[in-house]
Amino acid sequence: MGFGTVGSGVAKILLEDADSIAIRTGIRLELAAVVDKDTESPRKIVLPKGLLTGDLNRILKDDTIQVVVESVGGTTAAKEIQIQMLQAGKHIVTANKALLAEHGDQLYAAAIASDRSIGFEASCCGGIPIILALRTGLAANRINALYGILNGTCNYILSKMTQSGADFRTVLSEAQTKGYAEADPSLDINGTDTAHKLAILAAIAFGGQIRMQDIYIEGIEQIASSDIQYAREMGYVIKLLAIGERTADGSVSLRVHPSLIHENTPLASVSGPFNAVSVTGHAVGKTMYYGRGAGMMATASAVVADLIEIGLGSCQRVFRAMPMTTGQQEQIRIKKIQDIECRFYIRLMARDEPGVVARYGRILANHKISIRGAIQHEGRGPDKTVPVVITTHPTLELNMFNALDELARLKVIGTRPACIRIVDIPEDSE
C-alpha cells in the first residue's frame, strides 16, 4: 500500500533480492500487488505488468496475501487501511511513526484481536535495527537511559550550520533543494517527528504506555549560528536530542530539545543525515547504534527485515508477548520538565558598560544558579552590546526559567537570553 519512496524501495528489494533472501533466511518473499491511488506517474523502479493497481480490494480479497506494507503515510487514511487489513487477517509492516505514536494502542489492539502482528522497525531510525535491539538484543536489561539523534533533517541542518557558519533559514532552504528537508519541514524542525520516534522507542525501552503529551518538545528553529560557534569554542556540539531517562526517584523524563553535548561524546560525531541511538541497560552498560535515519533503501531494509521476521513467525511471537499488547505495561510516572535538574548554556546580549556583570551575576545567584564557564570576547556585538556566553552547573529548570525572565527585564540586557540545555551523557566507566 503506497508506491512512494519507501514503497519503491521495498518493491526493489523484493523484485531483485528474493532469491538471495530465501537462501539467507529460508523465507521466500513474493510481491503480489502494489496499490496506489496514482497508477500513472513514472517511479524510480519499474514493476512487472499487472502488479500496480488503484484497487484496495485486490489485496483485501486475496487470501494468499499475508502481509501488507503500509507506506501511505499520514494518520487518517493509513489508520483505516491498517485496521481494515488486520481485520482481513493480514499482518502489517509500517514505517508510519506518526500513526503509531498517536494511535498505536488502537492499532495494537486491532492486531491482537485479529491474531495478527504489526512490524514497525522502519518507523524509527531508518535502517538501524534499533527496535530489534531494544525488544530482543537487550531483552535481559532494564533500560535506564536512551539518547538519540532521530531526525536526519535536523541533524543535516545543524551539521551544515556548524560546518559553514550559515544561519538556520539559509541552510534549511539549501536542505530543501537537496531533498533533505520537505517542502513543509515543520514536523521535522519543530521536534514533533523526533518525539514520535521517542514515544515508540521509550514505550519499548521502559515497558509502559507513552502519550505524546508526556514528551516535552522544543525544535531547532531558534538555534543561532553564533550559538553553534560559541558552543564549539567551549568544546560542545549542538544536536537535537531525544532523551529518555529513568531518574533517581523512579520516574521517567522524556524530552526532545536542542542540546549541547561534549565534542568527545560519540553522538557528537554523528553528522549529516545519519541517526544514532545510545542505550544504557543495567547489565549491558552503554551501547550505541548508528546508521542512515531515512532514505528509500535504508528504510526498505528495515521493512524487509520485518517481512522476514513475519515469515519466520518471530515478529508475531514477540509482538504478542510485549507489555504493550499483553496489558502488563508499567505505570510510568513522567518527570515534568520544570522539575529536572540540568546544566544550561545561556547567551545574553549585554550593554558594554560598567556594572553589567554584577547585575546579571546577582540575578543568577539569587536563583541559585552557579556559573561554570563564561566567554566574553572583546567588542563583538552590534548596537553597543556584547555577547556574554555562560555555562552553568546543574540547576533546576524552573529556577533557570525564572532567572531568564528577570534577565530579560534588566535594562542593560533588554531581550530574553538565548538558552540551550547542556546534556552530559553519562560515561560508562571502564
Paired strand residues for 287: 279
Q: How far is the CB of 267 from a second copy (least distance, A)?
A: 11
Q: Which of 298, 305, 279, 348 is nearest to 134 (CA)?
A: 279
User: 414: phi > 0 → left, psi -120 to 50 → alpha, else beta; which?
Assistant: left
User: Which position among 11, 93, 99, 133 is part of the footprint of a second copy (CB under 8 A)?
Assistant: 133
C-alpha closest to that of 266 among 284, 287, 251: 287
Query: What minimum distance in Å lies between the beta carbon of 250 and a second copy?
Result: 14
Longest dimension (CA), the chain: 81
Stretch near a second copy under the rule CB under 8 A, chosen from 43-51, 95-103, 214-222, 316-324 = 316-324
- Measured in whole angstroms, the distance separating CA 13 from the mean position of its chain's CA atoms is 26
Asked if residue 66 binds a second copy (CB under 8 A), the reply is: no
Query: Which of the ranges 140-148, 342-350, 365-373, 393-401 carries the binding residues for a second copy, by CB under 8 A?
Result: 140-148
Smallest distance from a second copy to CB 21, Å: 6
Work out which of 37, 62, 115, 321 binds a second copy, going by CB under 8 A: 321
- Count of CB atoms within 10 A of residue 413's CB? 21
Q: Report the C-alpha dihedral over residues 104, 105, 110, 111, rounded to 10 degrees.
A: 60
Grid cell listed for 242:
531525544
Which of 2, 127, 148, 417: binder of a second copy (CB under 8 A)? 127
Instruction: Clarify whether 197 is annotated catalytic.
Output: yes
Per-position x/- string for 156-175, each x denoting binding to a second copy as judged by CB under 8 A, each - no binding = x-------------------
Q: Residue 21, interface with a second copy (CB under 8 A)?
A: yes
Strand partners, 93: 69, 119
The sign of the torsion formed by the CA atoms of 225, 230, 235, 241 equals negative
Q: Which of 171, 300, 350, 425 binds a second copy (CB under 8 A)?
A: 300
Catalytic residue chosen out of the listed positions 90, 97, 160, 197: 197
Which of 119, 148, 185, 281 contacts a second copy by CB under 8 A?
281
- Distance CA(145)–CA(3), nearest Å, equals 37
* Window 200-239: residues binding a second copy (CB under 8 A): 207
- Can residue 141 be called a binding residue for a second copy (CB under 8 A)? yes
Q: Is residue 196 part of the contact set for a second copy (CB under 8 A)?
A: no
Residue 309 near a second copy by CB under 8 A? yes
The dihedral over CA atoms of 48, 52, 58, 63, expressed in degrees to the nearest 10, equals 40
Out of 46, 113, 139, 408, which residue is the one contacting a second copy (CB under 8 A)? 139
Cα 418–Cα 419–Cα 423 angle in degrees, nearest 5 = 150
Q: Is residue 262 within the footprint of a second copy (CB under 8 A)?
A: no
How many helices (H) and strands (E) the chain has is answered by 15, 16
The string of DSSP codes covering 316-332 is HHHHHHSHHHHS--B-P
Q: Residue for cell digits 569554542?
A: 233
Task: Kindly state the number of chain residues that form the binding site for a second copy, as judged by CB under 8 A.
Answer: 70
Q: Does 350 bind a second copy (CB under 8 A)?
A: no
User: Residue 286 or residue 359: which is nearer to a second copy going by CB?
Assistant: 286
Please give the Cα distance from 367 to 379 (Å, whole number): 28
**24 is a site residue for a second copy (CB under 8 A):** yes
Does residue number 179 form part of the binding site for a second copy (CB under 8 A)?
A: no
211 dihedral zone (left: phi>0; alpha: psi -120 to 50; beta) = beta
Q: Which residues are catalytic?
A: 197
Residues found near a second copy in the complex (CB under 8 A): 9, 13, 17, 20-21, 23-27, 121, 126-129, 132-133, 136-142, 156, 207, 264, 266, 269, 272-274, 276, 281-292, 295, 297-298, 300-305, 308-309, 312-314, 317-318, 320-323, 326, 328, 330, 428, 430
